[in-house]
Amino acid sequence: MRLLPRFFVTLALLWPLAAAERAQAQALRFATDSTAPINVAAGLMVWQRAAGHAQLNKDAQMRQGPLTLSAQQLAIKFADNGTAENIQADGQVVLLSAAGDDSAPRRATARQAFVDLARQTIILTGDVTMTDGVDAARQLSGARLSLDVVSGRAHLTGDADKPRARIELR
């Protein structure tokens, strides 16, 4: 019988944490449109036809619907049939998404990003931080952010040094 009050006390203590977890899971959603055309722009593009590769510099950015990915350098890899297979972004990567029906505007930064155009996923790696337009003071950080462009769901994880993603309230 003495265990019952302890259980309720523990439940009461854990409840806010669980609520925060639910809130975080809901927050990790980006506005996306996987059917929108994929546009890239840059000041300079060097296309190496034989290697099936193009490197974009000077204000390089990729845009698909409400999503914009910018970086110091974008590298597009083309498949044998000439279609674009993936985009590797390096240096000062910024992923922005405008506010959607069920998501706030978001801004994620990282050192690198990899856009798999066939699987429609975007993976940010290297000191990933994420803020949203609703509460800019709250910053999520981790080692890896994966975004499913079809559903708009993002998943933030830590690495060996920081095994958990952190929520920083400032």
Residues that bind other proteins (CB under 8 A): 37-50, 56, 76, 78-79, 81-85, 117-118
Question: Both tokens of residue 64?
Answer: 């698909």
* Smallest separation, CB 58 to other proteins (Å): 9
Q: Specify the residue, 3 or 50, whose C-beta has the smaller distance to other proteins.
A: 50
Report the residue number, 45 or 123, with the smaller CB distance to other proteins.
45
Host H or E run for residue 21:
helix 3-27
Measured between alpha carbons, how far is 143 from 158 in angstroms, rounded to an integer? 5
Q: Is 158 helix (H, G, I), strand (E, B) or coil?
A: coil
Q: What is the smallest separation between the CB atom of 87 and other proteins, expressed in angstroms?
A: 8
Q: How far is the CB of 119 from other proteins (least distance, A)?
A: 9
Spell out a b/e string for 37-64, using b for 16 or more CB atoms within 10 Å of the CB, else e.
eeebebeeeeeeeeeeebbbbeebbbbb
Nearer to other proteins, 145 or 149 (CB): 149
- Residue (45 or 167) nearer to other proteins, CB: 45
* Least spacing, CB of residue 92 vs other proteins, in Å: 20
**Closer Cβ to other proteins, 24 or 72, answer by number:** 72
Exposed, middle or buried: residue 6 (CB in 10 Å: 0-12, 13-18, 19+)? Answer: exposed
Q: How far is the CB of 88 from other proteins (least distance, A)?
A: 14
Instruction: Determine contact, residues 140/157, Cβ cutoff 8 Å.
Output: no
